[in-house]
Amino acid sequence: AQKITQTQPGMFVQEKEAVTLDCTYDTSDPSYGLFWYKQPSSGEMIFLIYQGSYDQQNATEGRYSLNFQKARKSANLVISASQLGDSAMYFCAMRGPQGAQKLVFGQGTRLTINP
């Protein structure tokens, strides 16, 4: 069975600093996808970044990058130059191989950016 673990319930960071949110995963499938979503207090899940298990390079999307370490089964999200608007819940999720479409989510990390 697939499992996502996010060990940081809460993180507090000063504005403009970089922050790393941890995510480890467990799967026996060689093909899988890893996603990060942001959930502000309004409740909507906002897609941030995707990493495929066969991707050779770490994914990047603007200020977001994914530190993918396959051997360690980790997929940490790095946010550079944090902004006040980055304060939210962040969820790591995994999708299995083709044919298994559901996402399995971790418990999330609440990020608070201090001015």
Partner 1 sequence: DTGVSQNPRHKITKRGQNVTFRCDPISEHNRLYWYRQTLGQGPEFLTYFQNEAQLEKSRLLSDRFSAERPKGSFSTLEIQRTEQGDSAMYLCASSLRAGYTDTQYFGPGTRLTVL
- State which of positions 28-87 bind partner 1 (CB under 8 A): 33, 35, 37, 42-47, 50, 52
Q: How far apart are CA 11 and CA 87, in angstroms?
A: 10
Q: Can you tell me which residue has the tokens 């990020």?
A: 111
CA angle 16, 61, 72 (to 5 degrees): 90
The contact mask relative to partner 1 for 94-113 (x = CB under 8 A, - = no) is -x-----xxxxxxxx-----
Token pair, residue 43, equals 């409740």
93 binds partner 1 (CB under 8 A): yes
Q: Given the rule CB under 8 A, which residues bind partner 1? A: 4, 33, 35, 37, 42-47, 50, 52, 91, 93, 95, 101-108
